[in-house]
Copies of this chain bind each other. A is one copy, B any other.
Amino acid sequence: MFEFSIGATSGPARTGTLTLPHGAVETPVFMPVGTQGSVRALSPNDLRSAGATLVLANTYHLHVRPGEQVVEKLGALHRFMAWDRPLLTDSGGFQVFSLEGSRRVDDGGVEFQSHVDGSRRRLTPERATEIQWTLGADIAMAFDHVVPGGADEATARDALDRTMRWLERCRTRHAELTASHDYQTLWPILQGGAHLELRTEGLRRILDLGDWTGLAIGGLSVGEPKAVMYDTLERLEPKLPAGPRYLMGVGFPEDLVAAVERGVDLFDCVAPTRNGRNGSAFTPDGPVSIRNAEHREDPRPLDPSCDCETCTTFSRGYLRHLFMAEELLGLRLLSLHNVRYLIRLAEAMRAAIRRNAFGPWAAEWRRRYLHTGSA
Contacts and interface: CB of A to CB of B under 8 A. Distances in A.
A199 interface: no
Contacts of A322: 38
A45 to B, nearest CB: 7
A285 to B, nearest CB: 22
A243 to B, nearest CB: 33
A75 B316 CA distance: 13
A3 interface: no
Contacts of A44: 313
A184 interface: no
B75 A324 contact: no
A43 B45 CA distance: 13
A356 to B, nearest CB: 40
A40 B328 contact: yes
B328 A41 contact: yes
Contacts of A320: 66
A297 B331 CA distance: 29
A332 interface: yes
Given A75-B299, A82-B313, A36 B70 contact: no
A327 B74 contact: no
Contacts of A66: 296, 317, 320-321, 324-325
A293 B89 CA distance: 26
Contacts of A61: 325
A37 interface: yes
A321 B75 contact: no
A182 interface: no
Contacts of A37: 318, 321, 325
Interface in A303-323: 309, 313-315, 317-318, 320-322
Given A70-B297, A73-B297, A318 B80 contact: yes
A258 interface: no
A348 interface: no
A65 interface: yes
Contact of A309 (B45, B65, B321): B45
Contacts of A297: 70, 73-74
Nearest to A315: B74
A65 B324 contact: yes
Nearest to A331: B328
A73 B299 contact: yes
A329 B82 contact: no
Contacts of A40: 327-329
Interface string A319-352: 0111011011101110000000000000000000
B296 A332 contact: no
B321 A328 contact: no
Contacts of A73: 297, 299, 317
A81 interface: yes
Interface of A: 36-38, 40-45, 61, 65-66, 70, 73-75, 80-82, 296-297, 299, 309, 313-315, 317-318, 320-322, 324-325, 327-329, 331-333
Given A41-B328, A45-B309, A66-B325, 18 more contacts: A36-B325, A37-B321, A38-B329, A41-B329, A65-B321, A65-B325, A66-B296, A66-B317, A70-B321, A73-B297, A73-B317, A74-B299, A80-B315, A80-B317, A80-B318, A82-B313, A82-B318, A328-B331
